[in-house]
Amino acid sequence: MKFYDFDFTDEMLDSLESMRFETPTPVQEQTIPVIMTGRDLIACAQTGTGKTAAYLLPIIDDIVRSPHEGIDTVILVPTRELAIQIDQQMEGFGYFVPVSSTAIYGGSDSGEWSRQRTALTEGADIVITTPGRMLQHISMGYVDFSHVTHLVLDEADRMLDMGFYDDIMQVVKLIDKEKRQTLLFSATMPPKIRDLAKTILKDPEEISIAIAKPAEGIRQVAYPIYETQKIGLVTSILKQHVGQSIIIFSSRKQSVRDLGRTLKSKGFNSDIIYSDLEQVEREEVLRRFRNRSIDILVATDILARGIDIPDIDMVINYDVPRDADDYVHRIGRTARAASKGEAATLIVPAEMRSFGRIESLIGQSVEKLALPSELGEAPAYDPNLREPKKNGDHRKSSHGAGKRDMQPRRKGEHHNPNKPGNHPLPKTEGDVKAAPHKKYRNFKPRKDNGQ
């Protein structure tokens, strides 16, 4: 099947031809005809399968056929990074069609807020937004959803994991259920997603494609290892892949910073990205990584979803992801669109049990490789291993606190980061700052009489 087999307008086909889109992916082939009929849809597809284009293309085509005033489509996403990614795809698809879009997400810059307000009040056709930021604009009284005909929830499972259920429902209730077509896309289909679908969808078509399984083009390997051997192994791997595009994931921001400094000191062409960086810094790092100005990007899980960077050759998990879903999304940054890639995971003894659960959930055993001989003996892989506990064990935690500093708080006692022995609560990778869509970047808002 080819894209011209869909009943798209000539303008839409021109856009696809300019972007060299010829053959739809399985999720596109199955979902686009359903969306074009106007029926609600719940689709379960793994990362990297082309699900964004699966809903954008028929929505753009519908707007071209039936243009109207005001906002036509609202796309809810969990993070600003995904909002930016979708908006960039919109810019490409919309080159030959008269369809406007804007991305709405958090930030404290007043000029950014004004530009977002302008985009909303002047009626961008497609609004890509995080739930929390949209509610802030809605509370100001100028957001009009009366013309919305499409509502999309992208990475719905991630939004629920991040605690956005109430925010989602507040937004959804403002969009007429009888007038809208609702499309729900999710990488996994836990019971909470099905409950949400029953609440907001009308007699939906259900499509499932490769639920929570790594892409076939990824060669997965793992290294049982001690913590002190990690830097040596990463250095060895990178020397074998000079000039290739590589992402190294870590769950901890401190590990990202430390590893980033170490790699630069060793002369690797690398940089880091994590949530504490300013928006402009993050965009610049991603721009340089996309255009191959840097080869190696050390990142937190902020990059595991929603960021579509082509031709990534390898993913290294510096630590074991918390669950199978995160594992699939991390390694899914490589081998996209039927290409080939490699993913390596470093497993310390305390994480072997967790990795064993991941292997069980993805339904396959990952090949275990031996360390280079110069790194010394590695631990034996045992997925049933539990971290040993010893009486009187006062080994330091990763924050430098001894065991007696880690006693549980009494009932009613709140965390105090200023109290000796306590540490600041960690920041999340959530709904925070980002920049407005390029189509609205230069708009100057009308004066609002000081309100």
Strands across the sheet containing 150-153: 101-104, 126-129, 73-76, 150-153, 181-186, 41-45, 205-209
pLDDT score recorded for residue 327: 86
| CATH-assigned architecture of domain 218-375 | 3-Layer(aba) Sandwich (3.40)
| Strand bridging mode 246-249 / 296-299 | parallel
pLDDT of residue 343 exceeding 70, the answer is yes
Q: Is 177 helix (H, G, I), strand (E, B) or coil?
A: coil
| DSSP state string for 177-195 | TTT-EEEEEES---HHHHH
Give me the pLDDT at residue 333, please: 87
- Domain boundaries in the chain? 3-211+431-441, 218-375
pLDDT of residue 357: 82
- Residues 97-117 have pLDDT tens digits of 889 999 999 876 778 889 999
User: Which of 91-105, 142-156, 228-242 shows the lowest mean pLDDT across its residues?
Assistant: 91-105
Q: Is 278 exposed, middle or buried (0-12, 13-18, 19+ CB in 10 A)?
A: exposed
Name the residue among 356, 345, 412 with its Cα closest to residue 384: 356
Least confident window among 198-207, 211-220, 283-292, 439-448? 439-448
Instruction: Count H helices and E strands in the chain, helices first.
Output: 15, 14
- Average pLDDT of the chain is 82
How is residue 343 annotated by DSSP? E
Q: 136-145, 174-183, 259-268, 314-323: lowest mean pLDDT where?
A: 314-323
Name which residue leads in pLDDT, 388 or 448.
Answer: 388
Buried b (16+ CB within 10 A) or exposed e, 441-450: eebebeeeee
Q: What is the mean pLDDT of residues 297-309?
A: 77
Place of tokens 């992801």: 321
Residue 180 tokens read as 């809208």
DSSP label at residue 23 = S
Q: Fill in the DSSP letter of residue 49.
A: S
3-state per-residue secondary structure call for 201-255:
CCCCEEEEECCCCCCCCEEEEEEECCHHHHHHHHHHHHHHCCCCCEEEECCCHHH
CATH number belonging to domain 3-211+431-441: 3.40.50.300
- Six-digit token string for 187: 């990488």
Mean pLDDT of 431-451: 37
- CA–CA separation, 303 vs 309, rounded Å? 10
Q: What CA–CA distance (Å, rounded) separates 61 from 37?
A: 12
Q: What is the pLDDT of residues 32-52, one digit of tens each?
A: 999 999 999 999 876 667 788
Whether the pLDDT of residue 444 is over 80: the answer is no
386: confidence class by pLDDT, cuts 50, 70, 90: low
pLDDT tier at 422, thresholds 50, 70, 90: very low
Extract the tokens encoding 10: 């000539």
Q: Summarize pLDDT for 271-282 with one digit per residue, the tens.
A: 999 878 887 888
Q: Do domains 3-211+431-441 and 218-375 have the same CATH topology?
A: yes
Radius of gyration of the chain (CA): 23
How much is the average pLDDT of 190-216? 84
